[in-house]
Amino acid sequence: MSFGSWGFKSPLAHAVSYIYSPPRRRRRGVWLLAILSVAVVVVVLVTSFRSERRVLAAYLDAAQSTAGTAAGAADEFLDLVDRLDGVDRQEFVTSMAGIRQAAGTAGTDLVLAEVPADALDAHARLSLAYSSWLEGLEVLEGAAVAAADDPSAEIPGELIASALLELSVGDRAYEEAVVALAGLESEADVDVPTYPEIVFRPDGGSDALLAAVRASDALSQERDLAVTTVAFEPRVLSETEAGVGVVPYTDRLIVNITISNIGNEAAAAIPVRVVLSSDRTGTSAAESATIERLEPAESTSLEFVFAVVPVANYELLIDVGGTDGETSLDDNLLVLPFVVNEEG
């Protein structure tokens, strides 16, 4: 039996057409997609390569800049060591602080730089160099002044030897880092700048350095305070042959005293006592103050006010308490006789 034999035509019995791409056109689309994918990958790779090259170039420049700073610090350090026989303690401490700061800053700047994968080995060696230099300089500074203060002590000598070993480790690590960086020119196809030579370890070694600091009088500890100036207000008019100052008529004397640290060690909690006495009037007045701290070569002024009467002989005594370990006390005590003129 056929559908036609029932006398009607099925609504489903109609021509059906299928939409399709010819095989050739379909293959062309696949190839285009593949080509586009490859192009995208190439662009990504090229962009990534260029980015890595920029990071590497920036790191090489940063390494050169920090190395220049460290090289300057090394030259200054070796010059300081060569001049130890003529360097006083204050200059030594100040110079060492500047050298350590320069080396430390260079190391910090390098740590902050972005490190590319190609430079990881060199960066590790540079980091070791900077940390070793800084450690060696810090130990050496303390050991040198300790050896100067007590030439017979053995520990400072051992510390100096340890410090120079740290400096040697830093020198060697830097040398190896420069070799590793130079190798990147062919490995990574990048221009590598020239790096300066850096040597912190002195040629003479620990024995020569220890002998130099032990023989240096200028490096040894010196604690010394002194009364350096005294000024009256009103000012002294003249001085008698006996050394008695003549002060114009006044009933109020202002005394300005300058105390200085002429040693090479800081002094703290310095007591100052000023006494004004008169045999004629039978009176005595005392004032005191405490100076919190004086660094080497630092001075400070104190002001005291006393009541006085005319035609009276006075004696002003200024006493600055000695700091711990001070042996020269002659300039800590000062006595000034004076007389106040009568009115008119």
* Site of tokens 């006493």: 319
Tell me: do 105 and 208 sit in the same domain: yes
Domain with 203, as residue range(s), is 40-215
Query: Does 26 fall in a domain?
Result: no
Kindly report which listed range (122-131, 138-147, 263-272) carries the lowest average pLDDT score.
263-272
pTM over 0.95: no
pLDDT higher than threshold 50 for residue 266? yes
Question: At 87, phi and psi to the nearest 5?
Answer: -105, 125
Looking at residue 223, what is its pLDDT? 83
- Indicate the residue among 215, 239, 269 that finishes a domain: 215
176-231: pLDDT as tens digits: 999 999 988 876 677 889 999 999 999 989 999 999 999 988 888 888 899 999 99
Query: Does 186 fall in a domain?
Result: yes
DSSP 8-state secondary structure symbol assigned to residue 15: -
Quote the number of domains for the chain.
2
- Indicate the residue among 150, 181, 215 that finishes a domain: 215
DSSP 8-state secondary structure symbol assigned to residue 191: P
Q: How confident is the model at residue 6 (pLDDT cuts 50, 70, 90)?
A: very low
Average pLDDT over residues 39-55: 50
Q: Closest Cα partner for 96 from 67, 157, 139, 147? A: 139
Tell me: do 268 and 163 sit in the same domain: no
Biggest alpha carbon distance in the chain?
161
Across 102-224, where does the E strand assignment appear?
Answer: none
* Distances 252 to 144, 249, 266, 271, 304 between C-alpha atoms, Å: 52, 9, 35, 24, 11
pLDDT higher than threshold 90 for residue 41? no
Tell me: do 132 and 237 sit in the same domain: no
Per the model's pLDDT, the better-predicted residue between 191 and 169 turns out to be: 169
pLDDT higher than threshold 80 for residue 106? yes
Indicate the SS3 state at residue 50: helix
Q: Closest Cα partner for 230 from 149, 316, 311? A: 316
Looking at residue 186, what is its pLDDT? 77
pLDDT higher than threshold 80 for residue 3? no
CATH number of the domain within which 108 lies: 1.20.1420
Looking at residue 47, what is its pLDDT? 41
Query: Does 17 fall in a domain?
Result: no
Per the model's pLDDT, the better-predicted residue between 206 and 30 turns out to be: 206
CA distance 267 to 224: 9
Q: How confident is the model at residue 169 (pLDDT cuts 50, 70, 90)?
A: very high
Average pLDDT over residues 112-126: 92
CA distance 95 to 309: 53
Looking at residue 312, what is its pLDDT? 87
Per the model's pLDDT, the better-predicted residue between 186 and 172 turns out to be: 172
Average pLDDT over residues 124-146: 96
- Indicate the residue among 160, 188, 215 that finishes a domain: 215
**Cα dihedral 139→144→146→149 (10° resolution):** -170
CA distance 240 to 249: 17
CATH number of the domain within which 270 lies: 2.60.40.10
Tell me: do 175 and 233 sit in the same domain: no
Per the model's pLDDT, the better-predicted residue between 220 and 47 turns out to be: 220
Tell me: do 202 and 90 sit in the same domain: yes
Query: Does 29 fall in a domain?
Result: no
Q: Closest Cα partner for 171 from 136, 123, 120? A: 136
Kindly report which listed range (38-47, 229-238, 252-261, 325-334) carries the lowest average pLDDT score.
38-47
Tell me: do 80 and 140 sit in the same domain: yes
Tell me: do 307 and 171 sit in the same domain: no
Query: Does 28 fall in a domain?
Result: no
* Site of tokens 């990147």: 184
Query: Does 32 fall in a domain?
Result: no
Query: Which tokens is 77 given?
Result: 């350090």
8 A C-beta contact, residue 55 and residue 123 = no
Looking at residue 329, what is its pLDDT? 81
Tell me: do 209 and 325 sit in the same domain: no
Tell me: do 119 and 210 sit in the same domain: yes
Cα 23 → chain centroid: 76
Q: 234 preceded by cis ω (within 30°)?
A: yes
Query: Which tokens is 250 given?
Result: 């006044």
* Site of tokens 């002194």: 226
Tell me: do 54 and 192 sit in the same domain: yes
Looking at residue 336, what is its pLDDT? 95
Q: How confident is the model at residue 38 (pLDDT cuts 50, 70, 90)?
A: very low
Query: Does 30 fall in a domain?
Result: no
Tell me: do 139 and 284 sit in the same domain: no
Kindly report which listed range (21-25, 194-198, 276-280, 312-316) carries the lowest average pLDDT score.
21-25
Q: What is the mean pLDDT of the chain?
A: 85
Query: Does 6 fall in a domain?
Result: no
Per the model's pLDDT, the better-predicted residue between 259 and 325 turns out to be: 259
Question: At 339, phi and psi to the nearest 5?
Answer: -130, 145
Looking at residue 43, what is its pLDDT? 39
